[in-house]
Chains A and B, each alone.
Chain A
Amino acid sequence: MALITTDEQEALRDVMRAFLRKYSAEADVRAQMDSDRGFDVQAWETAAEQIGMQALAIPEELGGAGYGFDELAVVLEEAGRTLFTGPVLPSVVLAPAVLLLSGDTGARERYLPSLADGSRIATVAVSEDTAMWSETDITVSATRDGDDWLLTGTKRYVLSGAQADLVLVAARTGAGVSLFAIESPATGLTIEPLPVMDLTRRLASLTFDRCRAVLIGEDGTGWITLSQVFDQAIAALACEQVGAAAAVLEFTVDYLKVRQQFGRPIGSFQAIKHRCADMLVELESARSAAAYASAAIAAGADDASVAASIAKVYCSQAFYHIAAESIQMHGGIGFTWEHPAHLYFKRAKSGEVLFGSPASHRERIAQLIGMN
């Protein structure tokens, strides 16, 4: 169990931070918000070449660095701090996890080396009607066609769905939920980018009309894989949220120390101070929840699912509250497009909804701890 980082992980943090200072400054993030693609391909390639960011959690024999979730947690926290627009969550966390946990050695060898070197962007398409991952929600169907399968139906809320070269899709066969790979673009695949509120994180709807796909893993075992990946997904999101919330609190406190009204810094008023103290307690509690969930996942602990949902609820709400308070404490300037407060505020809300609302995760916890 590792609830505190090692020196090696802190060194990784320093490297990430230096990279992000150069490639994910506010101006870079805003430029990508206005771009069609939504992220900087050159920065993505640089991250692969200089840091090996995409390779971290991929085994060495498949072109990776062979680290685990603890290291991903550091990368995610730093990426979250700057609202880095690169597809870290789908292509560095989710897709490699699906491939590794699927037990499909052929698919691993086919795809993971190109994910590790950053040359291929991958995502996972699970959600349909709700953003929560739910086995019973899966209606996209797959029917066998020779060695391949044909997929029909619609996936929604697919992270980087319009940017990914490889889409791993959860679809229903006669044997149950199974996983399929589609190399995008593909015949029978229609991609509709969603008009997202948070432009730093792009999502799309993917509609399949007899779209040719390759089965990943054994037919009917997809949900076993996805339920494990789900814990990684929400814990990863929580790590991002901790980093982002820390950044918001820092720039807010800095402002409160210099902004003068009534002849004194507004940060000297208790009406402000006490709320900042609450924000710090929330941030540190969120940090603990995310660290515990990450450590539980890295260790394969029994309570990893409960811990991940706890982190999802707590970190989502803490980040949202801190981001909302930041706008208020900045006053008029905090409500402008030019100020970064709204970027974090929107990221907070988009993360709260992604992979299921806090209320749906409370219900998940209730069921996991036997509150029936």
Chain B
Amino acid sequence: MDIDIAPEHTDFRDEVRTWLSEHLAGEFAEHRGIGSPTDDAAWDVRVEWERELSAGNWLGLTWPREYGGRGLGMAEEIIFEYEYARSAAPARVNTQALDLLGPTLLAFGTEEHKQRFLPKILAVEEMWGQGFSEPGAGSDLAAVRTKAVADDDSWHIDGQKVWTTFGHHADWLYVLCRTDPDVALRHRGLSLLLVEVHQPGVDVRPIENLARSTEFSECFFNDARTPADMVVGGVGNGWRVVMATLGMERGSALMPMQLAMQREVTDMIDAAKTSGIVDDPLIRQRLVDAYIGVNVMRSSNLRVVADLLDDTAAERGTATTASANGSKLFASLHHQLMGELALDVYGAEAVYGAGDGPAAAARKLFLLSRAETIYGGTSEIQRNIIAERVLGLPRV
């Protein structure tokens, strides 16, 4: 079984399929399956691929036409993301802008913000990074100390951000700043500012992660400047805006992640068959558990998608609330189990040898999956949210 495509959408699906099969060729085809929203492998090829998508009008499908989008609905977006993932096209590079900042500007930005930034995002001319976390403000995001002070025509920003995904590729940052010096205000003294990276007051330094790759950066602001009107959603409203941004996890993004994990399980099972370790009774049961997990994810995603596309179900509010909250927790934990299993399937080769074959991919999965229970809200924070907001357990 698969996602239900309404009859009126089959033409659109065929259009997506045809375009992908024609354009995912040459160097792009050689880079099938490469990268992820947190892995900058083959960056330059992926930027070129994103421009190809832009030329084909495949970015910002749901964004309004006046900003370069196509004004389509949720159904088309889900179909596109699903077909995209099925084709294993290289992962997009400007996801921070396409998935998070763009929708935030559409919801909270001024007309000038939208006209200034959205077309350049869709044209792949400006890359974005997120300036939320700080050394002293991780899970406790309201503790941010980076401060912004206004003079007549601009903001002066001082402080430090960290764990900025693809920060070293970014041209602009959206930065959560304290604009009211009274720290006791916590949530109420914050504002979201848009800050250009290429200026003397901004210093972006890549951080090596434990896999010795550089997906994220730290950003230092030393009297960095941005014009007074570069505040999103009004001064003092930063917390509300940022919470909305973090809530913009889209139903359409779930299927691609699941499909990528499903491919990894399939590859792992094939490798285990080739090496014969598939007959090891413990490995065999764990391989099936890996398979079960990705299929349960798929069923959950299909439920969420069916719910999103069904108006009457949405009114009842059935599947989406609970499933969307749990999907990140489930996926991240399951991916770590898969990483551990991959290492056991490939054995010593993955730990002591590797090179650049499938054993190296297993090692990469093993290492990089450790980040998934931390970024985008740790598993502990996810559990707090589920316990308090879904189950209604008391805060104190």
Chain A residues positioned under 8 Å from B383 (CB to CB): 270, 273-274, 277-278
In which size bucket is the chain B interface? 35 or more
Residues A3 and B303 in contact, CB atoms below 8 Å apart: yes
Q: What's the nearest-Cβ distance from chain A to residue B8, in Å?
A: 18
Which of chain B's residues 281-329 have a Cβ closer than 8 Å to chain A?
Answer: 284-285, 287-289, 291-292, 295-300, 302-303, 306-307, 310, 312-313, 316, 318-319, 322-323, 326, 329
Alpha-carbon separation in the docked complex, A6 to B318 (Å): 11
Residue A64 lies at the interface, judged by CB distance under 8 Å to chain B: no
The answer to whether B273 has its CB under 8 Å from any CB of chain A is yes
Of the candidates B296, B313, B380, B387, the one whose C-beta lies within 8 Å of that of A314 is B296
Contact between chains at A7 and B312 (CB < 8 Å): yes
Q: Mark A285-305, 1 if CB is under 8 A from B, else 0.
A: 101110110011001010100
CA distance A10 to B388 in the complex (A): 27
In the complex, how many residues of chain A place their beta carbon closer than 8 angstroms to a beta carbon of chain B?
A: 48
User: For the complex, is B200 an interface residue (Cβ under 8 Å from A)?
Assistant: no
A288 near B296 (CB under 8 angstroms)? yes
Closest to A256 in B: B393
Evaluate contact between B288 and A277: CB separation under 8 angstroms.
no
Complexed CA–CA distance, A303 and B289 (Å): 17
Question: Does A330 interact with chain B (Cβ within 8 Å)?
Answer: no
Residue of B289, B296, B383 with highest tally of chain A CB at under 10 A: B296
Best-surrounded residue of A2, A267, A369, A371 (most CB of chain B within 10 A): A371
Contact (Cβ within 8 A) A264 B288: no
Cα–Cα distance between A225 and B395 once the two chains are bound (Å): 54
Which A residues lie within 8 Å of B291 (CB)? 365, 369
Say if the beta carbon of B4 comes within 8 Å of chain A: yes
Task: Say yes or no: is A313 at the interface (Cβ < 8 Å to chain B).
Answer: yes
Per the bound structure, the CA–CA distance linking A1 and B385 in Å amounts to 32
Q: Is B384's CB within 8 Å of the partner chain A?
A: yes
Instruction: Compute how far the CA of A31 lies from the CA of B329 in the bound complex, rounded to whole angstroms.
Output: 41
Chain B residue at minimal CB-CB distance from A366: B288
- Asked if B382 is at the interface (CB within 8 A of a chain A CB), the reply is yes
Partner of A281 from the list B298, B319, B330 (CB cut-off 8 Å) is B330
Instruction: Tell me if B394 and A257 are in contact (CB < 8 A).
Output: yes
Pair B386/A4 contact, Cβ less than 8 Å: no
B387 near A276: Cβ-Cβ < 8 Å: yes
Contacts A4-B307, A362-B289, A365-B288 given; does A280 touch B396 at CB 8 Å:
no
Interface: B243 (CB within 8 A): no
Among A313-332, those with CB < 8 Å from B are 313-314
B272 — nearest CB in chain A belongs to which residue? A371
Q: Which residue on A lies nearest to B380, using beta carbons?
A: A274
Q: Is the CB of A295 within 8 A of B387?
A: no
Residues of A within 8 A of B278 (CB): 371-372
Q: Contact string, B356-369, partner A, CB cutoff 8 A, digits 1/0?
A: 00000000000000
* With contact pairs A3-B306, A277-B383, A299-B1 given, residues A291 and B396 touching in the complex (Cβ less than 8 Å): no
- B6 contacts the other chain (CB 8 A): no
A1 to B299, CA, bound (A): 12
Contacts of A313 in B (CB 8 A): 292
A253 within 8 A of B: yes
**Of A5, A281, A288, A301, the contact of B386 (CB 8 Å cutoff):** A281
A277 CA / B380 CA spacing, docked (Å):
10
Question: Which of these, A268, A273, A280, contacts B326 with CB under 8 Å?
Answer: A280
B307 to chain A: closest residue by CB? A4
Residue numbers in A under 8 Å from B289 (CB-CB): 362
* A 246-287 to B, binary, CB cutoff 8 A, 1 in contact else 0: 000000010011000000110110101110111011001101
Tell which of B1, B285, B300, B387 touches A362, judged by Cβ atoms closer than 8 Å: B285
**Is B394 within 8 A of A265, CB to CB?**
yes
CA distance A3 to B300 in the complex (A): 9
Interface string of A1-41 (1 = CB under 8 A from B): 11111010010000000000000000000000000000000
Q: With both chains docked as a complex, state the minimum distance between the C-beta of A350 and any C-beta of chain B, in angstroms.
A: 22
Q: Which of A137-175 contact B (CB under 8 A)?
A: none
- The docked-state distance in angstroms from the alpha carbon of A371 to that of B272 is 9
Which of B295, B298, B323, B393 is close to A276, meaning CB atoms less than 8 Å apart? B393
Q: Does B391 belong to the interface (CB within 8 Å)?
A: yes
**B364 CB → nearest A CB, Å:** 24
Q: A268-B396, A366-B288 are in contact. Are A1 and B326 (CB under 8 A)?
A: no
Binary contact readout B59-82 vs A (1 if CB under 8 angstroms, 0 otherwise): 000000000000000000000000
Q: Are B287 and A366 in contact (CB under 8 A)?
A: yes
Q: Which residue from A4, A273, A301, A371 sits with its C-beta under 8 Å from B287?
A: A371
Which residues of A have CB within 8 Å of B302?
1, 3, 288, 292
CB of A213 within 8 Å of the partner chain: no
Give bound CA distance, A4 to B317, whole Å. 11
List the B residue with the shortest CB-CB distance to A268.
B394
| Contact B391–A277 (Cβ < 8 Å) | yes
CA distance A169 to B162 in the complex (A): 67
**Cβ–Cβ contact A284 & B322, under 8 A:** yes
Which residues of chain B have C-beta atoms less than 8 A from A288's C-beta?
296, 299-300, 302-303, 323
Question: Cβ of B329 and Cβ of A295 under 8 Å apart?
Answer: no
Residue of A nearest to B266 (CB): A369
| A245, CB-defined interface residue at 8 Å | no
Q: A265 to B395, alpha carbons, bound, how many Å?
A: 10
Q: What's the minimum C-beta distance from A318 to chain B, rounded to whole angstroms?
A: 10
B26 at the interface (CB under 8 A from A): no
With both beta carbons as reference points, the residue of chain A lying nearest to B379 in the complex is identified as A274
B7 within 8 A of A: no
Q: Known: A284-B323, A366-B284. Contact between A276 and B391, CB under 8 A?
A: yes
CB-based contact A285/B387 at 8 Å: no
**B53 close to A (CB within 8 Å):** no
Task: Point out the residues of chain A lying under 8 angstroms from B380, CB to CB.
Answer: 270, 274
Q: How far is the CA of A359 from the CA of B313 in the complex (A)?
A: 36
CA distance A270 to B285 in the complex (A): 32
Counting CB contacts under 8 A, is B392 at the interface?
A: yes
B345 within 8 A of A: no
Nearest residue (CB) in A for B273 is A371
Interchain Cβ contacts under 8 Å between A and B, 13 examples: A256-B393, A273-B383, A274-B384, A277-B387, A277-B390, A280-B386, A280-B391, A285-B326, A287-B303, A362-B292, A366-B284, A371-B278, A371-B287
> Can you list the 3 inter-chain pairs with the closest CB atoms, starting with the nearest?
A292-B299, A281-B326, A277-B383
**Residue positions of A touching B, CB distance < 8 A:** 1-5, 7, 10, 253, 256-257, 264-265, 267-268, 270, 272-274, 276-278, 280-281, 284-285, 287-289, 291-292, 295-296, 299, 301, 303, 306-307, 310, 313-314, 359, 362-363, 365-366, 369, 371-372
